Amino acid sequence: MTNDYQRAGSLRTSGSGAPELRTPQKLMVFVLSMALFGLANIILEIIPDVTIGPVDISVAYFVFVPLAMVALFSPFWAALGAPLGEIVFVDLLMGDFSGLSEVEGYLQMFLALYIAGSLIRNPRSRTQIWLGAILVVVIDKFLSAIVDLAKVWLALEDPEYVEGLPESILFLEGIGFGVDIVMSGILFGAIPAMWLIPALHGKIEPLLGMRPRVPGEPIPGQAPRTGWFVAVAVLLSIAAAFFAFIEAWDLNVGEWEPDFLDQFGMNFLWVSVGAIVVVLGLAYLAYRAGRKRDGESQARLQAEADEAVALAERERREESIHS
Amino acid sequence: MLRKQRDVLSVEWIKLELIRTAYATRGGMFSRRDPRAVLVWYLIMAFVPWFTHNVTVLAVLFVIAAIGVFLARVGPLVLGLFIIGIGFEIFYLILVSLMFGGNLGTLAALGVVNLKLGIISMASMAAFVSLDPEKLSDALLAFKMPELFAFGVSYGYRMLPIMVEEFNTVFDGFRLRMAPPEKRGFLGWRTVVHWAKMAILSFYPIFLNTAKNVRTTVEALETRGFTYATVDGRGRSIRLGQMRMGTVDWLLLVVTVALVVGAFAAGQAWPLYR
C-alpha cells in the first residue's frame, strides 16, 4: 500500500515550536502503548502454540504493535508503557505473574524497544523499520539467552552435574533464538510493521494532539535528564541480572550435594540479595538526584497546583454562603 | 454465582471469564480484605520460596498457596491454564533431558524448581483474582508506587474486556469482507496465513480507535486534576483515606507468617533435599 499524502502532516508541523511533550501527552503515549501491547498479548494467548517435538514454533509477541508505537511517538514513554501492558493485561489477569523475573522481563523489553525506537529516525523508511523490528527481538531474546547460557556455563564447572541437561539447554536456546527471530522478528514484526507504520504515520498523531515525527528533527519527548536516566537504567539492569542469577542458581543448586549447600550455598544467595539491595539503593539515589535537578519544573507545577486548589476552595466557600 | 457456560470453551467464554476475573465478582475471602493486606500476603508468598531448597518447606508452602487459591475461589479458566502450563513444562523438560541422556535425578531437580514456580503462580492467582482494579491501584498508591503505574493497572483492568470486544468486532468485519482462500493448502497453511493477515489488518482500525479512546480518557482525567493530584500530596491522602486495616486483615498476615515459620520449623525437623 503506498501512501503519498503527506500534506496534512507537514502543514501542521512546520515550525510549531519546541519538540517537548507536556505531561498529558506523555500520559497518552504511555497509556496507548500499554493498552495496545496488552491487547496484542491477549490475542496471542487465545491462539494456540504450535509445538514440533520439544521446539516451540510460536510467536513470542506481536513486535509490530510496540514497534509502531516507538517509531511514531516518543520512544521513551512508549517503551515504558508497552511491557507494563504485558504484565498488567496478561500476567496479572491470567495469574501468570512470576514475581522477580517480571522485573527482568520488563527491563529487557523496555531497553529493546527504546533502542529500536531511537534508531528509527524516519518512520517511512522500510530499511529502518526492518532493522528496528529485528533489533527488538535480538536485544530482548539475547539478554535472556545470555542469562540462560551463563546458567549452563556455571553448571558445567561441576563434574557431578547430571548429564544431558547442559547440551539440551544449549540446543534449545539456539533453536529457540532462531525461531524467535524468524517468527516474532520478521513474520509478525518487520513485515506487518513495514505496512502499518507508514500507514499510521501522520494519521494517528493528530488524534492525540501531537505533531508527527519528521526525519531530521529531534525526537519529541526524549528521556528526561539523560545522564541520570542512563545511570538508573544501567543500575536497574544490573539488579535484574542478579534477580535472574538467583533463579538460575536455583536450578543448579538442586543438582548439587546438600553439604556443598551448607558450606557455600546460602552465602552465595545472601551475597546476591545484598548486591540487589545495594544496587537498588544506588538506583534510587540516582533517581532522587535526577529529580532534584528537575526541581525548577517541579516547583512550577507545584505553584500551579496550589493556585488551582486555592481557587477550588474559594469557590466551595462561596457556594456554601449562597446555599 | 452459577456458571452455565462452563462446558463451552469459546472466545466468548474466555471473555466473560476475563471480565469476572478483572472485576473480582467471584467473592471469596481475599476480596473482602484490605488490598494492602492482600498485597503483603502475596509478597510473602512470592519471596519466601526463593530462600530455601528444602523440599519439606516447599511442600508446606505449596499447601498454603493451594489453600489461598481455594479461599479466593479462582475461576476454572485461570486455574486450568495454570495446570496445563505447568504440566506441559514438566513434560517437555522430561522429554528433552531423556533425549539427551539425562536420568531420574534431572526429573527430581526439575520437579523442585516447578514446585517453587507453582507456589508463586498460585499465590499470584489468589491475590490478583481477588483485587478489583480500584483496590489494586489504591494499594499500589499506598505503597508509594508511581501514580502512572497505579493508573495503568486500573485502566488496563477496566479497558481490557472492551478492547477485546472491539477487536472481535473489527475482526469479524474483515472476515465478512474478505473471501477465504479457495484451496486450504498443505496442513491448511493458506487458511493460517489468511487468519494471520486478518488479525494484523485489524490492528490498523484498533490503533486509531484506541488512540481516540485514550485521548478522551486522559482529557477527562486532566479535567479532574490528575496531574495536579500527583504533585499535591493532599489528593493522594483523600483517595487513600477510605482504606482500613481490620482485625481479620491483621489476622490473615499473622496466620500466614506463623504458617511460613511453621513450614521452616518442619523443614528443620524433617529436612529433605534432592
> What angle separates helix A100-119 from helix A64-72, to the nearest 10 degrees?
50
**Domain final residue, candidates A223, A240, A261:** A223
pLDDT in tens, A277-303: 777 777 777 666 666 555 666 666 677
Q: Is A297 a domain residue?
A: yes
Q: Which domain, by its residues, includes A241?
A: 224-323
- Whether residue A42 contacts residue A89, with contact meaning beta carbons closer than 8 Å, is answered with yes
Say how many residues make up chain A.
323
* Predicted pLDDT at A163: 57
Distance from CA of B248 to the nearest CA of A (A): 25
**A76 and A158 co-located in one domain:** yes
Find chain B residues with C-beta within 8 A of A31's C-beta: 151-152, 155, 214, 217-218
* Predicted pLDDT at A67: 94
Average pLDDT on B239-252 reads 84
Q: Note if the pTM is more than 0.80.
A: no
- Whether residue A63 contacts residue A184, with contact meaning beta carbons closer than 8 Å, is answered with yes
**A305 and A187 co-located in one domain:** no
Chain-chain contact of A27 with B103 (C-beta, under 8 angstroms) = no
Could you report the predicted ipTM of this complex, rounded to two decimals? Answer: 0.73
* Predicted pLDDT at B202: 92
Choose from A58, A104, A165 for mutation: most chain B CBs within 10 A. A165
- Whether residue B167 contacts residue B213, with contact meaning beta carbons closer than 8 Å, is answered with no
Question: Which of residues A246 and A40 earns the better pLDDT score?
Answer: A40
Amino acid in position A314: R
Q: Is A3 a domain residue?
A: no
% chain A with pLDDT above 90? 13
Kindly tell me if the per-residue pLDDT of A13 is higher than 50. no
**A61 and A197 co-located in one domain:** yes
Q: Is A219 a domain residue?
A: yes
Average pLDDT on A15-25 reads 63
Phi/psi for B183 (5° steps) reads: -110, 145
B231: nearest CB among A89, A192, A301: A301
Distance from CA of B228 to the nearest CA of A (A): 5
Chain-chain contact of B97 with A31 (C-beta, under 8 angstroms) = no
We report the CATH number of the domain holding residue A215 as: 1.10.1760.20
**A262 and A288 co-located in one domain:** yes
pLDDT in tens, A168-204: 667 777 787 888 888 888 888 899 999 999 999 989 9
Kindly tell me if the per-residue pLDDT of A258 is higher than 50. no
Average pLDDT on A124-152 reads 81
Q: How confident is the model at residue A12 (pLDDT cuts 50, 70, 90)?
A: very low
3-state secondary structure of A52: strand
**A207 and A230 co-located in one domain:** no
**A52 and A117 co-located in one domain:** yes
Q: CB-based burial of residue B8 (10 Å sphere; 0-12 exposed, 13-18 middle, 19+ buried)? A: exposed
Number of Cβ atoms within 10 Å of the Cβ of B245:
12
* Segment holding A63, helix H or strand E: none
Cβ-Cβ contacts under 8 Å between A and B: the total is 213
Q: How confident is the model at residue B141 (pLDDT cuts 50, 70, 90)?
A: confident
Looking at the complex, does the CB of residue B85 fall below 8 Å from at least one CB of chain A?
yes
Q: Which residue of B has its CA nearest to A35?
A: B156
* Predicted pLDDT at A70: 92
Q: Which three cell numbers stand for residue A72?
A: 511514531
**Domain final residue, candidates A193, A223, A253:** A223
Find chain A residues with C-beta within 8 A of B128's C-beta: 92-93, 95, 97
Distance from CA of B173 to the nearest CA of A (A): 17
* Segment holding A263, helix H or strand E: none
Domain range summary for chain B, segments of one domain joined by +: 25-131+259-274, 145-243
Kindly tell me if the per-residue pLDDT of A64 is higher than 90. yes
Mean pLDDT of chain A: 72
Rounded Cα distance between A253 and B119, Å, is 18
Number of domains, chain A? 2
Find chain A residues with C-beta within 8 A of B109's C-beta: 162, 251, 254-255
Rounded Cα distance between A268 and A254, Å, is 14
Chain-chain contact of A28 with B215 (C-beta, under 8 angstroms) = yes
Q: Which residue of A has its CA nearest to B19?
A: A93
Q: Which three cell numbers stand for residue A139?
A: 536485544
Distance from CA of A321 to the nearest CA of B (A): 24
Q: Which three cell numbers stand for residue A90?
A: 496478561
Mean pLDDT of chain B: 79
Q: What is the DSSP letter of A211?
A: P
Chain-chain contact of B231 with A302 (C-beta, under 8 angstroms) = yes
Chain A, window 97-126: residues with a beta carbon less than 8 angstroms from a chain B beta carbon: 97-100
